[in-house]
Amino acid sequence: MGALALLEPALLARESVSARELARDEEFWFAVRRAYDITPEFIHLESGWFSPVAREVREAQFQYMSRLNEITSFYYRRMYDDEKVRIKRRMAELAGLSPEEFVICRNTTEALNTVILGLELERGDEIVWCEREYPSMKDALEQRAERDGTVNKVIRVPMVPETDSEVVELYEKAIGPKTKAILVSHMIYLTGQILPVRKICDMAHARGVEVIVDAAHSFAHVDYKIPDLNCDYLGTSLHKWLGAPLGTGLMYMRQDKIAKVWPLFADRGFAKDDIRKFEHLGTRPATIEQTLVKSIQFHESIGAERKQERLRYLKNYWVERVASFARVVINTPMKDHQSCGIANVAIEGVEPKAVADYFFDEHRIFTVAVDMGVRVSPNLFTEIRDLDALVRAIEQLSTPATSAG
Ligand SMILES: Cc1ncc(COP(=O)(O)O)c(C=O)c1O
């Protein structure tokens, strides 16, 4: 029996249980864990890069790969176009979009480079962004500035703001007569901080400024539909929190914006205002797009809200236990609307890399050191005992007797 079928009785038995209550039902989440093949070699708390696909999704992918290998270009010549329509319709439902306003691409990097490098901007036009944006987008913005004379206005946003308006005001203050766009991460990759993107978009639109959202970490992690953000452009990686095969992403563009953005890969076969002009990438493995439907089914069988609540519960579980330890600094805001499953921890006097190495070398806990601390990103397969191990590791390292560098 497949994993999805196995999950069904567990879900049926809990139909009337709220997502918040279910978040702490270890028996249920153990059933979810069994849908994955997770290595026993270490405790995996680094899901921020990408998620594994559930076993059932991987098996579907293998079948698609075998079939494509049998029929080769017959698939692309006779079947791909129709399949693409079907796959996009399914993706559209999940994202709350119409198929005419997004493309399935390879990842966030591709989606947002397309927007950043494709927007019509003149010398002196300004783009506002915060210093903790993802490096690939900063590079794209800096390359654009070097090549075309656009101006980057980089702001600092507090890591733990008191209110949303404090953040929105920082973006608003940075807007000048030449500002054309804001680039903003929905969830900052270093700390898991969620920025008030909807409020930033509403403010920016009132000032005639467009907003490009980097939703790499928020999509299928936090429970929302893309139109809820009211943004103009958005990119995300479906291999992160949706658990789709590596190499799947989504680029959204408001329909009235499509005509003015140049694709990175030219395609003269479509009108300027047709989103499909962005679909041309040359030959690519259609099998990952086919498998996407199975990933969506898996995600929906658990449910977006239940997933969000479980991920938030896992983060709260370990953070609440370590926050009072001496020398421990939590670099993530803890109000529900300000973060979800990811948090960042630092230990005063110990370099983040030494902390991550200590976790791995002494406790077999895999995390990643980033600028200001160690990013911890659990997943649906995380067990409470994994987090208890993390808490013990932090406790040992933060007590004065221990030294890891
Ligand atoms: C905020 C953010 N944007 C973009 C990316 C790039 O994602 P990808 O490598 O899938 O393009 C990442 C990757 O971690 C990220 O965290």
What is the Cα–Cα distance from 161 to 169, expressed in whole angstroms? 12
Distance 296 CA to ligand 1 centre (A): 20
The pLDDT of residue 15: 87
Residue 193: name the closest of 241, 164, 159 by CA: 159
What is the Cα–Cα distance from 19 to 312, expressed in whole angstroms? 11
Angle ∠(331,221,257) on CA atoms, nearest 5? 105
The pLDDT of residue 324: 96
Whether the CB of 375 sits within 6 Å of ligand 1 = no
What is the Cα–Cα distance from 402 to 396, expressed in whole angstroms? 7
Which is the closest atom of ligand 1 to the Cα of 188?
1
Residue bearing the CA closest to ligand 1, atom 16 = 189
- SS3 (DSSP) at 182: strand
Which is the closest atom of ligand 1 to the Cα of 239?
10
Residue 108 φ/ψ, nearest 5 degrees: -65, -40
Distance 135 CA to ligand 1 centre (A): 9
Per-residue confidence of the chain (405 residues) as pLDDT tens digits? 566 777 888 888 898 999 999 999 999 999 999 999 999 999 999 999 999 999 999 999 999 999 999 999 999 999 999 999 999 999 999 999 999 999 999 999 999 999 999 999 999 999 999 999 999 999 999 999 999 999 999 999 999 999 999 999 999 999 999 999 999 999 999 999 999 999 999 999 999 999 999 999 999 999 999 999 999 999 999 999 999 999 999 999 999 999 999 999 999 999 999 999 999 999 999 999 999 999 999 999 999 999 999 999 999 999 999 999 999 999 999 999 999 999 999 999 999 999 999 999 999 999 999 999 999 999 999 999 999 999 999 999 998 664 454
Site to substitute for ligand 1 among 104, 136, 197, 344, most atoms within 8 A of C-beta: 136
Distance 218 CA to ligand 1 centre (A): 11
Cβ atoms within 10 Å of 195's Cβ, excluding its own: 24
Site to substitute for ligand 1 among 113, 129, 189, 191, most atoms within 8 A of C-beta: 189
Distance 237 CA to ligand 1 centre (A): 7
What is the Cα–Cα distance from 84 to 392, expressed in whole angstroms? 48
Q: What is the pTM of this model?
A: 0.97
Whether the CB of 113 sits within 6 Å of ligand 1 = no
Q: Which domains does the chain have, with CATH numbers?
A: 3-53+303-398 (3.90.1150.10), 60-298 (3.40.640.10)
Whether the CB of 214 sits within 6 Å of ligand 1 = yes
Tokens 């600028």 sit at which residue? 371
The encoded tokens of residue 309 equal 């609540």
Residue bearing the CA closest to ligand 1, atom 14 = 49
Whether the CB of 237 sits within 6 Å of ligand 1 = yes
Distance 2 CA to ligand 1 centre (A): 31
Site to substitute for ligand 1 among 134, 186, 212, most atoms within 8 A of C-beta: 134
Distance 188 CA to ligand 1 centre (A): 10
Per the CB < 8 A criterion, the answer to whether 209 and 231 are in contact is no
Distance 241 CA to ligand 1 centre (A): 11
Distance 124 CA to ligand 1 centre (A): 28
Whether the CB of 189 sits within 6 Å of ligand 1 = yes
How many angstroms separate the Cα of 322 from the Cα of each of 115, 160, 390? 41, 17, 9
Residue 241: name the closest of 214, 217, 215 by CA: 217
What string of DSSP letters covers 188-223?
-TTT-PBP-HHHHHHHHHHTT-EEEEE-TTTBTTB-
Whether the CB of 107 sits within 6 Å of ligand 1 = yes
Whether the CB of 185 sits within 6 Å of ligand 1 = yes
Distance 9 CA to ligand 1 centre (A): 35
What is the Cα–Cα distance from 389 to 399, expressed in whole angstroms? 16
Cβ atoms within 10 Å of 230's Cβ, excluding its own: 17
